Structure 1
Amino acid sequence: MAATRREFLRTSALASSLLLVPKFLHALDRGPGLARLADAPGARRLIVVQLSGGNDGLNTVIPYKNDLYYKARPTLGIREASGILPLEKDLGLHPTLKGLKGLYDQGHLAVLNSVGYPNPDRSHFRAMDIWQSGSGADQVVSTGWLGRYLDSDCSDCQLPYHALEVDDTLSLALKGATRKGLALKNPGKFHQLTQNRLLAKVSQQTAPAHHAQVDYLYKTLAETASSAEYLYDKSKIYKSNVAYPNSEFGKNLKTTAELINSGVESRVYYLALSGFDTHVRQQEQQQRLLADLGDGLAALAHDLQQHNQWDNTLVLVFSEFGRRVGQNASNGTDHGTANNVFLLGGGLRKKGVLNDAPDLANLDQGDLRHQVDFRSIYATLLRDWLGADDAAILGTGFEHLNGLV
């Protein structure tokens, strides 16, 4: 494989059209190492699942024994007789989340209620920026919390495939000041794009006299081409026969499992499930999305368990905000504040429902008050799961959830 890569880089349109060949290109030409992440002592990976649009947490983890819940949602509230899946602390999962209930029964699910931050923002774009950057509502930060992890604490994460987003574009969360992750949906198509189009296009537009620009382009293209070839070669090792949901999200989870089980060393994976902005006719839309989420994550866990990759994997599921406690006139819910967060994995030390249910008798102008700052979760995962310096990445002052992982 190394010989093939050297031949490609020597004969590519870019290399043949430019006179300057930086030294680092030859270093990248040797290709990344092939050691499995699972073979490294204590090595762990994080999978982040983003529920875009603002998932309604109260109809996801349901306070089904609280009369105030049904008073606020006379038609939208989910009744126990509908098949609510009981947890603890008088809470239950939405009836379609049977996959998550199975993981809960195995001790592989933790639920945190009322997660948010001070002075919450109800704009989708701004709220998502806050969660992805790991910043406060009064800050504007141009890097992501996982990108800064790559910058500061991931010494073996020099190449972009060490943080992968299974999507067409890279989110802010994976963008650091000096290092960034890599976005792709299909390793084969991505490999073809980098080999046949990207290099040729840049070679036609680049003048050799601008050595600094050429240097940067060489580095970016060489890293991308090297990573694309590596991921494509790896992706051919394992093809999953586990039944995932027949949806875009299900396909992306399957791709993630195939990359992990093939030995790709990525420390971070990032995925999104969209469509949770349920202002109108929420029941049908959320039911479909939550079934996709629960069945997909159960399939992922089963796939990784078959290959001894579940215990060193942690899945974080979040949404940019929850919904208002009261239903609206369109049988939906409007933008709210605090929400629940899920953590899944075989290595959880604390399991089940980790804190009290939302206090529906003590609302902030109709919205939930947050009990847990989301940055405390980030700080805990960075320090205790990824072995990083969370204070350098997030700043100080965030309480750790000790003993969680």
Structure 2
Amino acid sequence: MKRRDFIKNASFLTAGTMFTPLFLQQTLGKNTDPFEGKRVVIIQFSGGNDGLNTIVPYLDDLYHKARPTLSFKESEVFKLDNDLGINGNMKGIAELYDKGYVSVINNVGYPNPNRSHFRSMDIWHTASDSNEYIQTGWLGRYLDSYCKSVDAVIEYDNTLSLALKGANMKGVAVDQPYTFYNSLKVDQFDKLAKGAASKETLDENNKGYLYKTLAEASQSAEYIYEKSRIYKSDVHFPNSYLGKSLKSISELIKSGIHTKVFYATIGGFDTHVNQKNSQNRLLRDYSDSVAAFVKELEKSGNFDDTIIMTFSEFGRRVAQNASQGTDHGAANNVFLIGKNLKSKGIVNENPDLSNLHQGDLIYSVDFRSIYADLLDNWLNVSSSEILSKKINTLRLV
């Protein structure tokens, strides 16, 4: 069996459906080192969130002119700094902002932006230039260079994003810790276990790759499952996918898990049609979920060492379309949420609606400078090694 065929055919390698033979499970040790340092929680707005209706230039006449039915009035936003307001459905984030826990970075993007969901997300995931094609993610390279085990980087999903895939190590995708762990115990794996030990089935290189992959899967599944049983939060979280994901992450953090980076996604932001209601619902879910998450982190004494970053693959066009929505754009806003931010509030200039490129906002902050800031100044590793070039940081954290 060739290595690429093994990867293609073995569905058990997907987190949440990984199966490991009993003899490997019994020989694996547990990582019992206590957590040290700081952690990052990344939330992805999948689909291209409309930043202008998230952080709203409610006093800008050009905004209202471009969006006669989609724009928000002054009475529909929570007022921030610099004549900007936050979407009125984001009460939880507005309250965190008032406490000094939120940084809003406007006009974030990259040169020669791509409006394809898949390509733009690849660029954000790999921290590449728009004309580069890289097979590893920025968090995967962090995992390769600085982490001892694959569960140092965990994504709450049933598939693993490119951002978390390194050359030698890949993060762990976990939808439900119990399901992930329990899937290792099914009888289906007996045949594979016998085949893996047979020289007729696998050559030595493939055997080593198989054993390594299965060992990492087994150890991570057991470790995450055991940690998930230690603590249950009594804070109320929304009964949504994001709410459940952040609740589980908060419980793992309280348990002392050694994971450095958590990754979660909320989808549905591709709002070409009837945008207002759907985006408002999603932003309310995001805001309520993050507010509950911060409440739990404060309660458990873990907020000081946690930064939350929220991004989307691109923003939307400034002008609304004929379907009461907005089409794919370019520059957007990024949120950082934490107790000890160096820069708080609106940290740079407002979006300039008088100077557009083909109907899009023009970026002034390279998204990789935010990555570099998190790597250099929060996780205390070398961003130049991970990002493959020297990137100036914003010194936000």
**One fold, TM greater than 0.5?**
yes
- Greater CA deviation, 326-335 or 192-201? 192-201
CA deviations 1:344-376 (Å, max 9, x no partner) are: 011212110000110000111111000100011
**Which aligned pairs between 1:379-398 and structure 2 lie closer than 5 A?**
379-398=372-391
CA deviations 1:48-105 (Å, max 9, x no partner) are: 10000000000000000100000000111011122x0011001000000111011111
The Cα of 1:207 is off from its aligned counterpart by 5.0
Corresponding residue to 2:173 among 183, 199, 213: 183
Q: Is the 8 A contact 1:280 1:330 kept in 2?
A: yes
Aligned residue identity for 2:149: L
The Cα of 1:400 is off from its aligned counterpart by 1.1
**Secondary structure, counterpart of 1:306 in structure 2:** helix
Mapped pair 1:360 → 2:353? yes
Aligned residue identity for 2:335: F
What is residue 9 of structure 1 aligned with on the other side? Answer: none
Q: Is the 8 A contact 2:20 2:184 kept in 1?
A: no
Q: Is the 8 A contact 1:48 1:271 kept in 2?
A: yes
The Cα of 1:204 is off from its aligned counterpart by 5.0
Q: Aligned residue pairs: how many?
A: 376
What is residue 45 of structure 2 aligned with on the other side? Answer: 51
The Cα of 1:205 is off from its aligned counterpart by 4.3
Q: 1:197 to 1:285 in 2, by over 3 A?
A: farther
CA deviations 1:91-124 (Å, max 9, x no partner) are: 0000001110111111110000010000000000
What is residue 124 of structure 1 aligned with on the other side? Answer: 117
Aligned residue identity for 2:366: D
What is residue 110 of structure 1 aligned with on the other side? Answer: 103
Cα RMSD between the aligned structures? 1.7
- Greater CA deviation, 241-250 or 53-62? 241-250
Q: Is the 8 A contact 1:195 1:225 kept in 2?
A: no
The Cα of 1:324 is off from its aligned counterpart by 0.2
The separation in 1 between residues aligned to 2:246 and 2:379, in whole angstroms, is 21
The Cα of 1:132 is off from its aligned counterpart by 0.5
What is residue 208 of structure 1 aligned with on the other side? Answer: 198
Corresponding residue to 2:267 among 274, 277, 281: 274
The separation in 2 between residues aligned to 1:206 and 1:54, in whole angstroms, is 43
- Greater CA deviation, 73-82 or 168-177? 73-82
**Secondary structure, counterpart of 1:130 in structure 2:** helix
The separation in 1 between residues aligned to 2:65 and 2:326, in whole angstroms, is 14
The separation in 2 between residues aligned to 1:31 and 1:13, in whole angstroms, is 15
The separation in 1 between residues aligned to 2:323 and 2:194, in whole angstroms, is 54
Mapped pair 1:194 → 2:188? no
The separation in 2 between residues aligned to 1:379 and 1:314, in whole angstroms, is 14
**Which aligned pairs between 1:312-331 and structure 2 lie closer than 5 A?**
312-331=305-324
**Secondary structure, counterpart of 2:186 in structure 1:** helix
Q: TM-score, normalised by structure 1?
A: 0.90
What is residue 5 of structure 1 aligned with on the other side? Answer: none
**Which aligned pairs between 1:4-403 and structure 2 lie closer than 5 A?**
14=21, 29-35=28-34, 37=35, 40=36, 43-82=37-76, 84-152=77-145, 154=146, 157-196=147-186, 199-200=189-190, 202-203=192-193, 205-206=195-196, 208-209=198-199, 210-402=203-395
Identity among equivalent pairs (%): 49
Q: Is the 8 A contact 1:160 1:227 kept in 2?
A: yes
The Cα of 1:180 is off from its aligned counterpart by 1.1
The Cα of 1:198 is off from its aligned counterpart by 7.0
Q: Is the 8 A contact 1:50 1:319 kept in 2?
A: yes
Q: 1:303 to 1:119 in 2, by over 3 A?
A: same
**Secondary structure, counterpart of 1:233 in structure 2:** helix
Q: Is the 8 A contact 1:313 1:347 kept in 2?
A: no
The separation in 2 between residues aligned to 1:222 and 1:74, in whole angstroms, is 57
The separation in 1 between residues aligned to 2:106 and 2:188, in whole angstroms, is 45
Q: 1:240 to 1:15 in 2, by over 3 A?
A: closer
The separation in 2 between residues aligned to 1:121 and 1:112, in whole angstroms, is 20
- Greater CA deviation, 205-214 or 51-60? 205-214
The separation in 2 between residues aligned to 1:198 and 1:390, in whole angstroms, is 43
Q: 1:225 to 1:81 in 2, by over 3 A?
A: same
The Cα of 1:201 is off from its aligned counterpart by 5.4
The separation in 1 between residues aligned to 2:348 and 2:354, in whole angstroms, is 17
Q: Is the 8 A contact 2:20 2:215 kept in 1?
A: no
Q: 1:208 to 1:292 in 2, by over 3 A?
A: same
Q: TM-score, normalised by structure 2?
A: 0.91
The separation in 2 between residues aligned to 1:348 and 1:174, in whole angstroms, is 25
Q: 1:165 to 1:13 in 2, by over 3 A?
A: closer
User: Unpaired segments of 5 or more residues in structure 1?
Assistant: 1-11
User: Unpaired segments of 5 or more residues in structure 2?
Assistant: 1-18
